[in-house]
Amino acid sequence: MSDILPTPTPQLILRGYWRSSATWRVRIALHYKSIPFQYIPIHLVRDGGEQHSAQELARNPLAQVPTLELDSGVILTQSLAIIDYLESVHPNPSLYPTNPLERARAIQIAEVINAGIQPLQNLSLLLKVGALGFDKAGWGREYIERGLLAIESMISDYPKHPFLIGEAPSIADLCLIPQLYNARRFKVNLDLIPRLCEIETLCQELTPFKRAHPDSQVDAQL
């Protein structure tokens, strides 16, 4: 046997959907940290959504993506928990500021999006809102606009950084970029959030963000 044969890389399996913003955050983290992974699409819409299959419910009883399967077979869910895990096992380059206050501010922005916007405008909630006869698009736009305006306002008090917090992308930027994509889909007035749009432009120039974009995925429907 030759010892120049590469050791098989332990393989992570990311199951998700091209346009799922939580999946997108994790894709950015994996590419940013240059962690190899296999991407298996779960179609959230076709036939009522593959996330409701018995197989996927065994992976995540909440019928949500993404899920990350470790090479031990263990499944992790919840994008921010998955990204925290990736940070623990592949700490460099880091996605969290080292200063405790800056770190907390990065997580604060991530949570405004993860808990304050996304659950109120995601596909499953809007299907429910629509089924009850309410204006889905208006509902989604209201929550996205309110949340992004709050972030634009919060960061106006922080020292001016190139990214949301600091000299490099953090967990905050990973959450911002997919949320701005949704803002456009819901026709939020982007003139209200000029600083966030500036940061988006900067992120979009970086290879990990390009590779993680929905349009670059095998399951993209363009």
Binding residues vs its own copies (CB under 8 A): 60-62, 64, 70, 74, 76-78, 80-82, 84-85, 88-89, 100-101, 103-105, 107-108, 110-112, 114-116, 118-120, 125, 132, 134, 146-147, 149-150, 153-154
CA distances from 196 to 105, 113, 144, 150 (A): 15, 13, 13, 11
Q: Is 108 or 216 the residue whose CB approaches its own copies more closely?
A: 108
| 94, amino acid identity | S
Bin 63: left if φ > 0, else alpha if -120 < ψ < 50, else beta: left
d(C-alpha 191, C-alpha 173), whole Å: 19
Q: Please say which residue, 171 or 203, places its beta carbon nearer to its own copies.
A: 171
Query: What's the closest the beta carbon of residue 220 comes to its own copies, in angstroms?
Result: 25
Nearer to its own copies, 45 or 57 (CB): 57
DSSP string, 85-127: HHHHHS-SS-SS-SSHHHHHHHHHHHHHHHTTTGGGTSHHHHH
By C-beta, is 120 or 206 nearer to its own copies?
Answer: 120
CB of 46 to its own copies, least distance (A): 23
What six digits make up the tokens of 123?
């596909």
Q: How far is the CB of 164 from its own copies (least distance, A)?
A: 13
